[in-house]
Structure formats: C-alpha cells, structure tokens
C-alpha cells in the first residue's frame, strides 16, 4: 500500500481535542470500566417529539427527495428571521443576511476560509472552542490569543491589544455564553466590541451556540442587538443545543451581507444543501412553541445546582456558571489540568476535559458538562471526592 503524503494544510491542523478525549474514554470502557463522562457537550435527552414528527412528515414529501437548493430552502431562512425578530428584536433579510450551515462547527471553520489569507491575524479567545483554530490553520493564518481570566469575568480585555495587533487582525472570534468557562456578557460589552471592530476593520464572528441557556433573570443578548453589529460581523447559531438536535447537523449564520455571501459561495462548491426534511424540521423548531426550550433550560439549571452542591460537599471550590451547560473548575494546587484529568479517569472512572485543551490560559482548570441526570452528576462528583484531592 502506498502511504501518500498529506497536504501542508492537513498537516497544519491541530489534533482533534475531543476525538482524543473520546478515545481515552472508549479505552477504559473496553476494559469494563463504568465511566461517567463529563468531558463532552453532547445533549443527553432526545429531540422534542413535534420536531421529529415534522421531519417524518417532510420525509414523505417526494419534493424533498431531490437535491435541495444550493443555498437552502427559503422557508428555513424565513424561519430564522422569524426566530431573531421574536427572540431578539433583530430584523434580517432572508435572502442576503442568512446562510444555512451544516451545524455551527462547519461555519466556524468556513468563515476563516472566507476571510483570511496566509499571514493574516485572527483574534481568538483563550481558553476557547478548539475549532476556531482549525479554520485559521487551514488558511496558514496566525492566531493572537485574547486571554479570558477570572479577574476580568472571563471577558477579553481590549486594552491589552496593541495598535500593531489590531492593524493586522482581520477576524475576531467571540463566544457568550462561553464555552468552556460558562461566563456571560452584557450588551455593553458587545457595544464596545462593535466600536473596536469598526475602528480597526475587523470582522466579528460571534458563536451563539448556548444562547438559550441563561441561569440568571436576564436573557442572553445577541451580538446583533448592538447598534452597527451587522456592519462589522456575523453571529453563528446551532440548533444542536437549544433543541437537542446535535446529530441533525443544522445551524445558520446571520448578519453582515458580504460575509454571508462569501459563506454561501464557499458552500456552493462544497455541498448541495442539507436534506430538505431536516430544514423543515428545523423551521418547525424555530417557529413553533418554545416550551421545550424552557423545560431544557430549567433542567440544566437544576443540574448546575446539583453539581455546585456536590462540589461544595467535597471541598471543590468553583463558581457557578451563569450560562451554557458547562462548569469551569480550578484543579487542586500542585496539579496540572492534564494530571488531574488523568487521575480522576484512572482512579475514579470520571472523565473531565482538561483546560489546557482549550488554550494556554485554560491551564489550571477543567471543564465539566451538565449532560447527565442529577443522580449521575452526584455519583460522578462523589467519585471525585473519594480521592480526597481538595
């Protein structure tokens, strides 16, 4: 067998952090171990029945069996517009300000392919979602980290960005509610971001994957609610979390017309659009009753409270997240993130995501996902507590 050489672009790609975690868990399970996996963010409850029924009905329609329009069905784009008008008071043009995505992850990689050339700079949150790095690497562009630190509420401090860095930067990735820290922001932060982006000709890409899950009395703001936001950027939304549709792989990008056009052009060359029945079900999710979303938010809030209660019981001090379905906990003094993660996996059969997998400034923390029922969360935390590390 000939072993062919990979392209330089493939070689530049970072190792897939979550795939590595999954492999470690599988190896332990193959040894017969009962692993409680807090490391991933895959929803554990099913897609609401009315959305599944919509898919079934649409799948019977012969018109859906043909290739979908390259840039998606207009009914889905109109549903996106209805959703943004209803939830955030943001008006969108379905033809020029909405792009159908094969899940949010794909769009987060593709936007770098649209906007960055070799040597260009992307501002990335550190810690942050590792797939921001992938698109930058494919383009042979450069990343400039924006540290997210607890003393600054896990928000980037724009005063730390030099004039030289801002002049070189073409793209800025943001994500609130934040993965992995669970931190949130308010509209004033987005207002500040819009002003910075305008002054420096930077495209803002806001990853709004966890927008539905607020654990405070306030709804999380959309980046597009800030005045002038559509002039300087886009927001990427996925149905994976809000509607428990992770395996369906559908999302959308909204905002700046020039960026939406680029995304559509790139995807014209990569795909013929998503199966129409999936788009129909997604439209149903966005425009029908949101009672299941409210129920899901309440479920994650209860799980968060159980997690924090059990953490307190074992002496593990951490801050309760205000959004997303992740918690960000410091590791015991004298241990690295990876050392702690390895120890609890091998000795307590619990998998957590080491913070260094999300960037340099993630060192010293681990991420725990609220994707287990309350009993399992209690059990997992008690297993960690049995190691007497705190």
Residues of the chain scoring pLDDT < 70: none
Domain annotation covers residue 390: no
Domain annotation covers residue 64: no
In tens, the pLDDT along 255-267 reads: 999 999 999 999 9
Please report the pLDDT score of residue 31 as a whole number: 81
pTM of this structure? 0.96
328 and 277 in one domain? Answer: no
CATH number at residue 164: 3.40.640.10
Angle of helix 104-115 relative to helix 257-270, nearest 10 degrees, comes to 110
Please report the pLDDT score of residue 23 as a whole number: 81
In tens, the pLDDT along 205-230 reads: 999 999 999 999 999 999 999 999 99
Those residues whose C-beta lies under 8 Å from the C-beta of residue 292, and which sit 6 or more positions away, are 48, 50, 243
Rg value, the chain, Cα: 21
Helices vs. strands in the chain: H and E counts, helices first: 15, 12
Distances (CA, A) of 212 to 149, 222, 242, 298, 322: 24, 10, 6, 11, 12
**Structural domain boundaries enclosing 109:** 69-287
Q: Report the SS3 class of residue 350.
A: strand
200 and 311 in one domain? Answer: no
Please report the pLDDT score of residue 22 as a whole number: 78
Q: Report the SS3 class of residue 119.
A: coil
233 and 92 in one domain? Answer: yes
235 and 112 in one domain? Answer: yes
CATH number at residue 38: 3.90.1150.10
Please report the pLDDT score of residue 88 as a whole number: 98
Number of structural domains the chain divides into:
2
Domain annotation covers residue 51: no
């Amino acid at each position: 067998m000939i072993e062919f050489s990979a392209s330089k672009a493939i070689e530049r790609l970072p190792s897939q952090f979550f795939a590595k975690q999954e492999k470690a868990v599988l190896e332990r399970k193959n040894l017969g171990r009962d692993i409680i996996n807090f490391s991933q963010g895959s929803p554990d409850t099913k897609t609401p029945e009315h959305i599944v029924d919509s898919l079934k009905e649409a799948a019977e329609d012969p018109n859906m069996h043909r290739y979908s329009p390259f840039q998606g069905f207009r009914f889905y784009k109109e549903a996106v517009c209805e959703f943004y008008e209803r939830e955030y008071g943001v008006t969108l043009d379905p033809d020029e300000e909405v792009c159908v995505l094969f899940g949010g992850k794909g769009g987060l990689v593709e936007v770098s392919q649209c906007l960055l050339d070799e040597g260009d700079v992307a501002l990335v949150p550190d810690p942050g979602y590792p797939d921001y790095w992938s698109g930058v690497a494919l383009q042979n562009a450069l990343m400039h980290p924006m540290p997210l630190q607890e003393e600054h509420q896990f928000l980037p401090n724009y005063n730390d960005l030099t004039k030289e860095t801002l002049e070189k930067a073409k793209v800025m990735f943001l994500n609130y509610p934040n993965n992995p820290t669970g931190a949130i922001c308010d509209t004033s932060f987005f207002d500040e971001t819009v002003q910075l982006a305008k002054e420096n000709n930077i495209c803002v890409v806001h990853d709004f994957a966890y927008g539905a899950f607020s654990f405070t009395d306030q709804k999380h703001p959309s980046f597009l609610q800030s005045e002038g936001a559509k002039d300087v950027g886009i927001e990427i939304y996925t149905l994976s979390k809000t509607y428990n549709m992770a395996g369906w792989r559908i999302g959308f990008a909204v905002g700046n017309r020039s960026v939406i056009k680029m995304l559509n052009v790139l995807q014209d060359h990569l795909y013929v659009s998503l199966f129409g029945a999936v788009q129909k079900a997604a439209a149903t999710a966005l425009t029908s009753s949101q009672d299941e979303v409210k129920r899901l938010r309440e479920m994650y809030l209860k799980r968060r409270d159980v997690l924090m209660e059990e953490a307190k019981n074992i002496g593990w001090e951490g801050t309760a997240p205000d959004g997303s379905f992740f918690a960000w906990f410091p590791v015991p003094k004298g241990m690295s993130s990876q050392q702690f993660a390895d120890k609890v996996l091998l000795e307590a059969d619990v998998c957590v995501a080491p913070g260094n997998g999300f960037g340099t400034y993630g060192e010293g923390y681990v991420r725990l996902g609220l994707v287990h029922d309350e009993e399992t969360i209690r059990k997992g935390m008690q297993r960690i507590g049995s190691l007497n590390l705190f």
